[in-house]
Amino acid sequence: MAHLGENRYGKSRVRVMKVIRHDTWHEMKEWSVRVLLHGDFETCFTEGDNSKILPTDTMKNTVYWLARESNAATLEEFAIELVRYLLSNNPQVSKASAEVEEKSWKQVLIDGQPHATTYALAGPELQTTLVTLDRGAEPIVQSGIDGLVILKTTNSAFTGYLKDKLTTLPESTDRIFGTRATVEWDFLPGTTSFADTRTRALTTLLKVFADHDSLSVQHTLYDIGEAILQAVPHISQVKLTMPNLHCLLVDLSRFGQSNPNQIFVPTDEPHGYIEAVIAR
């Protein structure tokens, strides 16, 4: 006989832009929100009884309403407010989660000064958070940066690896190292310094990536994670994903030219995929 297993439902891709109009400048945020609820929903599945179902359209409107009411300075604070609101107003819900992605809009610099009301998208990366709240518990907060595209043109090597009859990759002691990095960190309970953590984690990641004498992607990934843990004492672990954005050296010898590490073909398909968790 069939029975209902673990289930949840919610609303995804709720896009909202908020402009805070200060006297002399405007602050702007663009978020994409996903809300998921766990709870007493079995009869909806098994009997078609919707009496305990909060419509996902209502969840969408809740995001808009709360965005207007909220004084949250960070996406983490907004996500915490959202899950608390949903639990407090829906007794049939046992757990709520809110995932928020924020685009990296930055004020445009005009004559070296931030323009009061004009923004430009700084990069493709997204600022992220996932907040999960069980009824009667404290929020669990995981935050990060998704899709940070970074590249350096030297101080990267890959040698001494396993070779078999299908190996064609030549060893390199000086190669381009590009990646689309994703970093996620887990906050220790009770932590509220979300903005400072994000700044310190990103600053540390970029510094280590730039300065590291890399012997492999794995080598650099670990040192980045270790450095972030040292820089931010109130996170318990860091997960890093660093796929390769390959730059392949072009063979110009057929044209009678040399190629002293100058001309490359950038490609990201197929690519190497490296992922690890670095924990305390």
Q: Is pLDDT at 252 greater than 90 in this prediction?
A: yes
Q: Does a structural domain hold residue 1?
A: no
- The predicted pLDDT at position 275 comes to 98
Rounded to whole angstroms, how far apart are CA atoms 37 and 96? 5
Token pair listed for 13: 């891709």
User: Quick one: average pLDDT of 145-154?
Assistant: 98
Q: Are residues 130 and 47 in the same domain?
A: yes
Q: Are residues 20 and 127 in the same domain?
A: yes
CB atoms within 10 A of CB 65: 12
Rounded to whole angstroms, how far apart are CA atoms 101 and 75? 8
User: Quick one: average pLDDT of 17-25?
Assistant: 96
- The predicted pLDDT at position 1 comes to 86
Q: Are residues 123 and 204 in the same domain?
A: no
Domain that holds residue 243: 148-279
- The predicted pLDDT at position 176 comes to 97
- The predicted pLDDT at position 271 comes to 95
What residues act catalytically?
11, 56, 246
- The 3-state secondary structure of 211-261 reads HCCECCHHHHHHHHHHHHHHHCCCEEEEEEECCECEEEECCCHHHCCCCCC
Count of residues in the chain: 280
Q: Are residues 105 and 41 in the same domain?
A: yes
Rounded to whole angstroms, how far apart are CA atoms 183 and 215? 20
Q: Are residues 157 and 247 in the same domain?
A: yes
Q: Are residues 124 and 28 in the same domain?
A: yes
pLDDT tens-digit map of 256-280: 999 999 999 999 899 999 999 999 9
Q: Are residues 116 and 162 in the same domain?
A: no
What CATH number did the domain enclosing 237 receive? Answer: 3.10.270.10
Q: Are residues 130 and 152 in the same domain?
A: no
pLDDT tens-digit map of 162-171: 999 999 999 9
Query: Residue 32: what residue type?
Result: S
Q: Is pLDDT at 158 greater than 90 in this prediction?
A: yes
Q: Of 183, 238, 172, whose CA–CA distance to 206 is shortest? A: 183
Q: Are residues 167 and 125 in the same domain?
A: no
Weakest-pLDDT range from 46-50, 112-116, 134-138, 189-193: 189-193
Arithmetic mean of pLDDT over the chain? 97
CB 127 within 8 A of CB 76: no
Contacts with 163 (C-beta within 8 Å, 6 or more apart), sequence order: none
- The predicted pLDDT at position 74 comes to 96
State the virtual CA torsion across 182, 128, 58, 52 in degrees, nearest 10. 70
Residue at which a domain ends, from 107, 137, 167: 137
Rounded to whole angstroms, how far apart are CA atoms 176 and 217? 11
- The predicted pLDDT at position 54 comes to 98
Q: Are residues 53 and 120 in the same domain?
A: yes
- The predicted pLDDT at position 24 comes to 97
- The predicted pLDDT at position 43 comes to 95
- The predicted pLDDT at position 222 comes to 98
Phi/psi at 62 (5° precision): -65, -40
Rounded to whole angstroms, how far apart are CA atoms 237 and 278? 6
Q: Are residues 104 and 174 in the same domain?
A: no
pLDDT tens-digit map of 82-104: 999 999 999 999 999 999 999 99
Q: Are residues 206 and 265 in the same domain?
A: yes
